[in-house]
Structure 1
């Protein structure tokens, strides 16, 4: 049985503010949630009332399993000043610790046309080696996400699972790995079984949405029993974030994946 974590930026918005979305998710049978940036410095994330959010998590016994790093830095674009990323990383870690969140999702930003791709990948690894050293002892894991450039994130440096795995191997830390997003991987035309066979031991978190459309499972063409079976065969048994744009009311949109995850 997989632990599912609705994204409270996109799901249970009918309930109102973020803390009420946690309560609505718990009422719908979920024990975990995920969110985007806690302070809302990057659109489309919005600022959270962190004390109210913490109270809702504690009241319902719900775990926050992932949050995003802030800001979503353009690492490779000149003048390549990363000081704000490192400053906010400490703040994000402190928030994650206060909320009981074990992982922070990080990205690559836009690729730079004036530098070789391999050079940029190696530079990104060095940036994250420094980040891991900075937060050493915090207990927080950083999960690097590759995103599709065909539909949602044109220009992103990291659009291939194999390249995010390459960076993770260069960082070489138990507190650094990859986020495997089944939606982004599918849109990029990757074969999930192949990608997970090559990078399975590095996967620290998984997210999903159906494709095409990025709606709830069942709204697109992905074979969900097969997809969950691939994750299980690859050895992944952690939480799965539901990061999709629902095409119907939230509680109805989760019913298929809840039923399938209970059997996976």
Structure 2
């Protein structure tokens, strides 16, 4: 049985704008985990109290600010400062993962050079937060629909970077939606990246709605995910087309049997 973690920036919006109230709504719906985007704009003290009150685990949060690493003048000071700030928030909230992005690539440089530079950047980031108990997870995103211009759009390249960093506290976020939209073979990607996958997110495709709203074969995909050896939480990062409690019904049923 997989643990499902609804994204409180997208789901349980019926509870209002407060992240704390959305956590309570998720708990009332029977979830014991949630994820979120960045902490900016959230009442961290209230969110911490809601997590403690309900016993809900925050599984992942985004690194802020989102950085364009490859575009000159390539001053990464804000990224490293933001990472320290994010770790402090994560520790307050009991969150074990921070999600990293690659930023926009630079068209005047070879792709391999840019990937190798990301290895250097993230090796430094991993060393900077050593001992914090936080795992950094790097996400490849699709450039066909949602993130045109992003450098990292291939699971294999995210895995290359993770192996280059070579740390038990650095891995990849495998987003099944982004992978599918990019035309990747999910079975193959899960098999080849299984050693560095530290977190998983899902949405259906096309449309990025709830599982069941698109064309993905969810029983098959969850079976493949289980077969890859992954047994961690799954973030529900989708735009619901129905009220949240209705939108989660199919995936909750399937995850319970997977």
The TM-score normalised by the length of structure 1 is 0.97
1:40-98 deviation line (CA, Å, top 9, x unaligned): xxxxxxx1000100111011100000000001100001110100000010010011011
Correspondence for 1:222: 216
Cα separation, 2, equivalents of 1:260 and 1:198:
24
Deviation at 1:211, TM superposition (A): 0.1
Correspondence for 1:8: 8
Correspondence for 1:44: none
Unaligned runs of 5+ in 1: 40-46
- Does residue 69 (structure 1) correspond to residue 63 (structure 2)? The answer is yes
Cα separation, 1, equivalents of 2:192 and 2:242:
36
Cα separation, 2, equivalents of 1:202 and 1:74:
24
Unaligned runs of 5+ in 2: none
Of residues 180, 190, 195 in structure 2, which corresponds to 1:186?
Answer: 180
Correspondence for 1:207: 201
- Equivalent position SS for 2:242: coil
Deviation at 1:243, TM superposition (A): 0.1
The alignment covers a number of residue pairs equal to 257
Residue pairs, 1:124-135, within 5 angstroms: 124-135=118-129
Where does structure 1 differ by over 4 angstroms across 4 or more consecutive aligned residues?
Answer: none
1:119-138 deviation line (CA, Å, top 9, x unaligned): 00000010000000100110
- Equivalent position SS for 1:94: helix
Of residues 228, 233, 251 in structure 2, which corresponds to 1:257?
Answer: 251
- Equivalent position SS for 1:144: strand
- Equivalent position SS for 2:200: strand
Cα separation, 1, equivalents of 2:34 and 2:176:
18
Cα separation, 1, equivalents of 2:85 and 2:166:
24
Deviation at 1:201, TM superposition (A): 1.1
Deviation at 1:145, TM superposition (A): 0.1
- Does residue 168 (structure 1) correspond to residue 168 (structure 2)? The answer is no
Deviation at 1:217, TM superposition (A): 0.2
- Does residue 92 (structure 1) correspond to residue 86 (structure 2)? The answer is yes
- Equivalent position SS for 1:201: coil
Cα separation, 2, equivalents of 1:110 and 1:102:
26
- Does residue 56 (structure 1) correspond to residue 57 (structure 2)? The answer is no
Correspondence for 1:145: 139
1:5-52 deviation line (CA, Å, top 9, x unaligned): 00000000110111000000011110000000102xxxxxxx100010
1:148-182 deviation line (CA, Å, top 9, x unaligned): 00000001000000000000000000000000000
Correspondence for 1:83: 77
Cα separation, 2, equivalents of 1:226 and 1:51:
40
